Amino acid sequence: MQRVCLALPTMRPCPDTIAELAEEAAYAVANFGVEVHLLILDTTDAGGFAENAGAVAALEPAPGVVVHHLGEARQREFLRRVSERSGAADPELLLDLMLPRAVAYGSCVNRLFLGAAALGCTSAHLRNDDADFQVVDGRKIFPIHHELLSIGRPAGEAVAGVSRSELDPADADKPVMLVSGSFIGELNVDIGEIHELDPAVYRDVVRLWTPPVWSEEERDAMVDISFKGAGSEPFDTDESVLGVPDIWDVYMCNIALDHRAYEVLPLLPATETIGSDYALLHALVHSRLPGVVHNRHIVNYYTPERRTGAGFVSYQLRFVKFLLSMLYLYPVYGGMIDLGRGLLDERNGLKVEPILDLARGSVHWDRAGNVHCLDVLDRSYRKLGGKYAELADVMAGRREQLLDEARQDAERWAVLIEAWAPMVAAARAEGLRTGTEGLDADADGTDGTDAGTDGTDAGTDGTDAGTDGTNGAGTGTDAPVR
């Protein structure tokens, strides 16, 4: 039976979301005959963890659905074993890249990928703890419907499951590596208030993430569509398109990825940086691999902590670091575009070597562009005044640190790319352990056990799986961007 991984990373209480994902998992089993491993990747405080654990315990048993609720200590032990088993010269460095002591969206998803490998899953289906499913006539619109119709299948076979095909006949034998919808609702980056205060400042700030080689007209057009997803039109009738997706039509919080993609290329392990988990999607799109884009969009909303006090400063600094990361990512993305189908091997799988070369080369980029970026942000935030002027003060005090960290994140990504294949192999070999040897205190002092539908975990050998869930819940807590 095909085994798939449905993942919810979180760092806050989200009992309603847990219940909704359990429904989606049961839907997948009933309609597609798969075995679903629901990984709840949790780094809440003690009270929050207990609330989420209560939600897991309250789930009705569903045949074919296995629920894992994992805390940081269990993840760390698994990752330590994997890092050591991989044969790396510095397993402690790999452990830090996978589980840093800070919010790290790409690292969070990378832990999920290793967990999926340890479980023997053929695909990973990523969701969000600050989004809802759309509801039509009392029926929840689950994205996994389109995902399981196509993910991993030869594109020529996937034609039967879509409403429209733009597939090049020459690509019929290539596998569908990604299936994605987008989102409706609020912007997926919490900067709408800037637009309300001063649209001109909003334009100046958002232009900072556009490719510097673009024309003024192209950069302005990108500002107009950035962070808006599918707009506000609700779901009506299923629509899906098979072909080479546009990067603007895929969304990391509403996506399925085939294991032959995520087992090749890890995401950028940048700390305190939103939007650091899109590199793999760029590789798949720019290599011209077929994918499916559908309209079962999730509904994005904002959580309150990111808008006040320390939460506001932390979130906005993550946006600043996102802008700075582009200096090192755009050369990689541009190289991917130039290579195109040259990114694929003879079996139509991603080749990691050219991507590693691009990542290594990007770290030497002149950081003058990032100096300019911080200058523009400083002027813009001070013009807005109030809490934004206070943010500018914080940013000025960390100026050199921010510049250094952006380069270090790029360097660390190259290290992880090189180590990734041995880590994936180690995760498969290691599996996840059950019983008292796998217990941890987690956030709430409980024993950290997983609540499967029958009280057990069904890993590849009866073991428990899950690696993800700490440090900001990469795919979820702050909706990442492209």
- DSSP-H helix ranges across 126-226: 144-150, 155-158, 192-197, 199-206, 216-225
**Token digits of residue 285:** 């799109």
* CB 28 within 8 Å of CB 4: yes
Torsion sign (Cα): 465, 467, 470, 473: negative
**CB distance 129 to 18 below 8 Å:** no
Structure tokens at 152: 């991993």
Both structure tokens of 275: 């939007």
- pTM summary value: 0.89
- Look at residue 20 in the predicted model and tell me its pLDDT: 96
DSSP notation for 33-82: --EEEEEEEE---HHHHHHHHHHHHTSPP-TTEEEEEE-HHHHHHHHHHH
The residues near 155 (Cβ < 8 Å, ≥ 6 apart) are 167, 171, 172, 173, 174, 175, 176, 242, 290
Under 8 Å between Cβ of 185 and 301:
yes
Alpha-carbon distance 364 to 366, whole Å? 6
The pLDDT, as a whole number, for residue 306 is 64
d(CA 450, CA 428): 20
Q: How far apart are CA 268 and CA 280, in angstroms?
A: 9
Q: Assess contact for 257 and 280: CB atoms under 8 A.
A: yes
Cβ proximity of 292 and 255 under 8 Å:
no
Radius of gyration of the chain (CA): 21
The confidence score (pLDDT) of residue 293 equals: 98
With contact defined as beta carbons under 8 Å apart, do 115 and 468 qualify? yes
Would you write out the chain's pLDDT as a tens digit for each of its 482 residues?
899 999 988 888 999 999 999 999 999 999 999 999 998 878 888 899 999 999 999 999 999 999 988 888 888 999 999 999 999 999 999 999 999 988 888 998 999 899 899 989 999 999 988 889 999 999 999 999 999 999 999 999 999 999 999 999 999 999 999 999 999 988 778 898 999 999 999 999 999 999 988 998 999 998 988 888 888 888 999 999 999 999 989 999 999 999 999 999 999 999 999 888 899 999 999 999 999 999 999 998 776 666 677 889 999 999 999 999 999 999 999 999 999 999 999 999 999 999 999 999 999 999 999 999 999 999 999 999 999 999 999 999 999 999 999 999 999 999 999 999 999 999 999 987 633 233 334 443 333 333 343 333 333 333 333 333 333 333 332 333 33
438 touches 74 (CB < 8 A): yes
pLDDT of residue 471: 35
The answer to whether 324 touches 373, Cβ cutoff 8 Å, is: yes
Note whether 287 and 340 are within 8 A (CB): yes
What backbone phi and psi angles, to 5 degrees, belong to 56?
-65, -45
User: Which residue in this structure is represented by tokens 């034998």?
Assistant: 173
What b-and-e string marks burial along 444-468, b requiring 16 or more CB atoms within 10 Å of the CB?
bebebbbbbbeeebbbeeebbbbbb
Q: What is the DSSP letter of 170?
A: G
Largest CA distance in the chain: 61
Task: Fill in the DSSP letter of residue 475.
Answer: T
